[in-house]
Amino acid sequence: MSNKGFHIAVVGATGAVGQQMLETLEKRDFPIGKLTLLSSARSAGKVIAYKGEDVTVQEAKPESFEGVDIALFSAGGSISKALAPEAAKRGAIVIDNTSAYRMDPEVPLVVPEVNKEDLRLHKGIIANPNCSTIQMVAALEPLRAAYGLKKVLVSTYQAVSGAGAKAIEELNEQTKALVNGEDYEPQILPVSSDKKHYQIAFNAIPQIDKFEENGFTFEEMKMINETKKIMHMPELHVAATCVRLPVATGHSESVYFEVEESNVTVADVHEKLSSAPGVVLEDNPAEQIYPMPANCVGKNDVFVGRVRKDLDEDKGFHMWVVSDNLLKGAAWNSVQIAETLIEMGLVQEK
């Protein structure tokens, strides 16, 4: 850390996303003058090294945000509801990783490759979308811009790290136990269920977050509503099925989409994807080249492959979209928003 630079606060610094936030800030050499690390009282006093310097974690309180320029929140929706307005009131720009403010019309919901201009409308709080939404809209945006977009049907294959540090531990411990023929009582996944928990090792759980009255889960509704908001397309037809897999990190998605224009080819889609910011095309069936979560861990990009034209619908295409859910899905998108605020002159050091 240097004397010059922004005062950054990380709320939820000890969590799965918070840890990636710190690694990302360090890797990007983000201009930090002061770093405040916040958590619950449980982790207060813990020491975390940042660029070789020890920083002591403090319990997050309204006063923690005095003098803070940018506050990166990933401690859950209730903490954001309670503390993000306190941070904003004290002059910090909040970049919130929870669903607390995503659908608030006063709060921009931003994926920089798609809608960075929305940052100009912020009133102190900016929302970071859900991880599954982010990687999908990053891949769809260059296609929407070129050919228009009518419909999106997505099925996700989501990694356990999206459900937090305890879910990663559960996958690891449960896998070891089952391989050794021992019992393991599921306790964490699906996370938002207070009724039942299911085995995740060697399994697939078609529930992420709680069920809504319409039969979709909240994770599926996040993807549907957030996609329309980010792309400024309330009329877009979107449906999602979200599934948890025994993968540690890296969300995968099978995306069917229909464009507005006729006679678009796979070569056209390839061309747009290969020149899109933040997107890497990995698509060569002859050489068995396609994205997989194990190859995406630790990378900021969104990887796309398996592009096919639908056999019955001229305007319909299928693609496979993979990204590190903790990076582009959370930490990197948040830090990228902070970097974009600086580039656009929308944040000043106090």
The tokens for 335 are 């830090």
Which x/- pattern, by CB under 6 A, does the window 162-201 give for ligand NAP?
x-xx------------------------------------
CA dist 323 and 291 (Å) reads 9
Whole-number minimum distance, CB 28 to ligand 3JN, in Å?
A: 22
Measured in whole angstroms, the distance separating CA 182 from the mean position of its chain's CA atoms is 34
Residue 247 as a binder of ligand NAP (CB under 6 A): the answer is no
* Residue reference for tokens 């060569």: 284
76-84, 205-213, 237-245, 279-287 -> range binding ligand NAP (CB under 6 A): 76-84
CA dist 186 and 206 (Å) reads 16
Q: Which residues pair with 308 in a beta bridge?
A: 318
Residue 227 as a binder of ligand NAP (CB under 6 A): the answer is no
Residue 77 as a binder of ligand NAP (CB under 6 A): the answer is yes
Among 9, 14, 158, 216, binds ligand NAP (CB under 6 A): 14
The tokens for 287 are 């050489």
Task: Measure the CA dihedral 135/140/142/143, to 10°.
Answer: 160
Among 74, 156, 207, 336, binds ligand NAP (CB under 6 A): 74
7, 131, 242, 296: which one is catalytic?
A: 131
131 is annotated as an active-site residue = yes
122, 242, 251, 296: which one is catalytic?
A: 251
7 is annotated as an active-site residue = no
Query: What's the DSSP call for residue 201?
Result: T
Q: Considering only CA atoms, which of 186, 157, 168, 184 is closest in space to residue 248?
A: 168
Among 8, 12, 322, 324, binds ligand NAP (CB under 6 A): 12
* Pairing state between β 47-50 and 53-56: antiparallel
The residues assigned a catalytic role are: 131, 251
Q: Which residues bind ligand NAP (CB under 6 A)?
A: 12-18, 39-40, 42-43, 60, 74-77, 79, 97-98, 128, 130-131, 162, 164-165, 329-330
